[in-house]
Amino acid sequence: MIRDNLDHFRTTLRWVFRAAIALNSVRFALSFIPKFEGTAARTGIADKLFGAYTLGFFRADFAWLIGSTIVIFAATIYFAKDSENDPQARLDVLLGWTWIVAFVIYVIKSIFTGVLYLG
């Protein structure tokens, strides 16, 4: 019974984890389109969609990326302990680290293009 509950938890975590990475990856891809992301001089669709919703001085979509990346990092560590024996866990670890690298690229790109202004 406990093992079944643990397996159900892992399966649910795996699908939520992958859905978050898929959603974040779409947002990452859209960030390379100036009409969506905007520029330092011109607002984009993302500014119009998420600009009214802020957490601190971060727009809601960026706050989501920060929060979800922290959770993805934790889940990647969780899946890493089973990655030697479980091919699904190995895939999840690969997806997790791939997203973390993409997030770092996104933050660096946003700072250098002026979209993310840190004062």
Is the per-residue pLDDT at 117 higher than 80? no
Q: Is residue 34 part of a domain?
A: yes
Asked if pLDDT for residue 24 goes beyond 90, the answer is: yes
pLDDT at 52: 62
Residue 16 has pLDDT above 90, yes or no: yes
Long-range contacts of 91-98 (CB under 8 A, 24+ apart): 92/14, 92/17, 92/18, 95/17, 95/18, 95/21, 96/17, 96/21, 96/72, 98/21
Domain assignment present for 119: no
Is residue 40 domain-resident? Answer: yes
The pLDDT assigned to 4 comes to 73
**pLDDT at position 94 over 80:** yes
**What pLDDT is attached to residue 99?**
97
The verdict on residue 103 lying in a domain is yes
The residue written with tokens 């969506």 in the block is: 36
The Cα–Cα gap between 36 and 115 comes to 11
Report the residue count for the chain. 119
- Tell me, yes or no, whether 85 lies in a domain: yes
Residue 44, Cβ neighbours under 10 Å: how many? Answer: 18
pLDDT value at position 1? Answer: 65
Residue pLDDT, tens place only, 43-90: 788 777 776 666 777 777 888 899 999 999 999 999 999 889 989 999
Least confident of 19-33, 35-49, 64-78, 96-110: 35-49
- Which three-class secondary structure state does DSSP give residue 30? helix
The residue range of the domain holding 33 is: 2-113
